[in-house]
Amino acid sequence: MLRRALQKSSRKKMCMGEKKKDSICVDERTIPMDLVSQTPSVCGKRRRRSFNTINKTIGQRRKLSEEHLDKLDQRVESKDLITQLPEYIIHHILSFLDDTKDAARTSILSRKWRHIWTSFSVLIFDQHKIQQQVGRQDIRNMKKVFTDFVDNSLKNHLERKLSIQKLVLHITRYDLELAPHMEQWINIAIENNMKELDLHVVKKSKRYKLPPTIFASKTITGLRLHGCMLKSHCNIKLPKLQKLYLRKVFVDQQIIDNLISSCPLIEDLRFIHCTGLKVLRVSGLLKLDRVEVHHCHGLEEIEVKAPNLQTFWYCGKESMHCKIDLVACVSLKRLTLEDGNMTDEMFQDRLASFPFLEKLDLSKCNKLKNITISSVWLRRLVLRGCKNLVEADIDAPNLFSFEFKGDKMPFSFSNPLSLKEAKFSFEPVHIRSYNHHGGEDALWFARLRKLLEKLKHSNGLKLVVRSRKNVIIHENLEEILLPPQSDLKLEIIKPSMGLEDLLDNLLRTWHPEILSVVSSPSSEFPKLVHEKMMHRGENPNCCTYNTRNKCWRHFLKGVKIENVEAAAGKRTFGWIPWLKSSPTVLHQTISYRLSWESVERMLSKWRMMRLYA
């Protein structure tokens, strides 16, 4: 509802904005009405009389529109429960919007939202975006445009005597001339009780040295630092800090010790592509809930002693040998490991330390061969890209979500499953013939049948078969028929949100020429697919204006129902002839021919739209 309101608000403002202005726009210059009425002319008196009439009409319309808005506010505020939320919760909702402009558009929702928006204090300054808007200029002038913009924005904000909830600085052209400006902006925000700082500096040669005032703030609860420099000897005292994200930051154990001793409320601690750490030891943080370590070069050992830790996430390359000790984290519920050096024995020892584990995600753990996963608490399991895994014996009676990606089927289940979410991706699968399977093909299909037998209680599963530029969605998994292609990619999917989720996942990054659906005559699934494909609208409003990654609806130019009988001569790589060769499949199939706009062309269109918006 909120998203729909945000999308409609810009159009509504465009319609109402002209009625509220007693001016005329000529070549982006605003000329007041009274100035136009005084322009010399043969029909001057008539023109003044006409403008007087217009002004009177505008005043009446404005009065009526304000009365209408008041009545609308009363109706919305009496029915819309979201307006009854406390102000701090609405501020929290606004903070999730992608752009400050989107947050501003919520002011049309009701009188209360208009009041709350004026006190919303999340300031976002992206050097690249701001410089894009002013066009090509010399670098010095571009920097001045950016610094003037931030200076004026902060000045206007402070003149309204508003505090600063969050300051975001995204710096793409950092140099020593910009450093004093950045320090001034950060100090102003700290003086005005800033709670969160997100500082992203694209590092080319020199890192930005953080001002010492950051580490003496009594109000900061969240720090996100990218491409900055932390001094080992700096005095840290952040009594309210809860979240600390360090990315591409030089950090050592002394800094970690200083943080732990002076920031007792830390709940979320993340190190991403950091350098300088050989040993990471974290202890004494009773509120610590989450720890993440991603690709920190040179890190040899991790030891975390946090009795209330709920989530641990480690990503490392095969060339990185890192010993991980989480024995003291007995409350751990979510474990994600991308560890190319973890052996079967190491994995079993780690798993035994977490009796209450609910989610396990193993990715690119290429030394794993034979493992056992047994847990009555486990709810979600992901096995992705573990290319040397031969056998995974899974005994998890309460499992409701399972995701697998690989070219084999190296897992077995002790009990039948009733999954609510599932995604099995097998690629590549080489099928020599859909009527005859021999050797490895026969073994592979035997395992597939065995898997489907275990999944028979998981209603709603779909088989998605991809081959080159074609895709088929098979709803009935009891009788699987596969086209005679040599490069099939198979997926068994059960989306958690239904058809919408399935199509979004399928078409997000891959645009097929033909989409076919095979289902029983009584199924509603083909009808739903037809509605989604044919009635998507010429200008879909599913994605917000500022969203960079548009969904498939924006790229889809045309949809035609494919006449299978007349499609023999078209370039379908044997797909349509296969459908025609099986009367049973043919009568249960509906096919669509899809035409797509190129990604490059769509991006060019959006750049032009944003440029002239």
Q: Are 417 and 379 in contact (CB under 8 A)?
A: no
What are residue 394's DSSP bridge partners?
373, 413
Categorize the per-residue pLDDT at 251 as very low, low, confident or very high, splitting at 50, 70 and 90. confident
Residue 313 has pLDDT above 60, yes or no: yes
User: Which of the listed ranges 331-335, 487-491, 542-546 does the model predict with the highest average pLDDT?
Assistant: 331-335
**pLDDT at position 491, please?**
86
Is residue 443 pLDDT above 50, yes or no?
Answer: yes
Interval 98-115 mean pLDDT: 63
**pLDDT at residue 286 greater than cutoff 60:** yes
Q: What is the pLDDT of residue 394?
A: 94
For the ranges 161-175, 264-278, 421-435, the one whose mean pLDDT is highest:
264-278
Q: How confident is the model at residue 23 (pLDDT cuts 50, 70, 90)?
A: very low
pLDDT value at 568 more than 70:
no
Task: State mean pLDDT over 565-589.
Answer: 63
pLDDT at residue 238 greater than cutoff 90 = yes
β-pairing verdict for 323-325 and 411-413: unpaired
> Which of the residue ranges 178-182, 372-376, 425-429, 539-543 would you say has the lowest mean pLDDT?
539-543
Examine the pLDDT at 285 and tell me if it is beyond 90: yes
Average pLDDT, the chain: 77
Note the pLDDT of residue 221. Answer: 96
Residue 111's nearest CA partner among 160, 88, 77 is: 77
- The 10 Å Cβ neighbour count of residue 504 is 16
The yes-or-no verdict on residue 539 having pLDDT over 60 is yes
User: 238 by DSSP, 3-state: which?
Assistant: coil
The pLDDT-based confidence of 214 (bands split at 50, 70, 90) is very high
Encode pLDDT of 46-94 as tens digits: 433 443 443 444 444 444 455 554 554 555 444 456 667 776 677 667 7
Mean pLDDT of 606-613: 55
Distance CA 185, CA 169 (A): 9
Residue 294 to residue 554: CA distance in whole angstroms: 34
pLDDT of residue 62: 45
Query: Which two tokens mark 434?
Result: 């859909």
**Is pLDDT of 29 > 50?**
no
Q: Is the pLDDT of residue 301 over 70?
A: yes
Cross-strand bridge partners of residue 205: none
Model pLDDT, residue 16: 40
| Per-residue pLDDT, 64 | 44
pLDDT at 186: 95
**Of 395, 337, 393, 394, residue with least CA distance to 366:** 337
68 vs 515, higher pLDDT: 515
The one-letter amino acid at 551: C
Length of the chain: 613
pLDDT at 496 over 80: no
Is pLDDT larger for residue 4 or for residue 155?
A: 155
Higher-confidence residue of 320 and 32: namely 320
Q: Which residues contact 418 (CB under 8 A, 6 or more apart)?
A: 400, 457, 458
* Model confidence band, residue 169 (pLDDT cutoffs 50, 70, 90): very high
What percentage of the chain's residues is helix, strand, coil (to nearest 5)? 35, 25, 40
pLDDT at 105: 66
Instruction: Using pLDDT thresholds of 50, 70 and 90, give the confidence band for residue 42.
Output: very low
Q: 96-100, 429-433, 547-551: lowest mean pLDDT where? A: 429-433
Dump pLDDT digits (tens) for 353-409.
999 999 999 999 999 999 999 999 999 999 999 999 999 999 999 999 999 998 888
Question: Among 106-110, 126-130, 569-573, 583-587, whose mean pLDDT is lowest?
Answer: 569-573
Q: What pairing do the DSSP bridges indicate for beta strands 514-518 and 589-596?
A: antiparallel
DSSP H or E stretch at residue 477: none
Query: How far apart, in whole angstroms, are the C-alpha atoms of residue 133 and residue 332?
Result: 47
> Per-residue pLDDT for 413 more than 80?
yes
Range with the poorest average pLDDT among 1-15, 299-313, 344-358, 584-598: 1-15
For the stretch 124-163, pLDDT in tens is 888 887 767 666 566 667 788 889 989 988 888 888 777 7
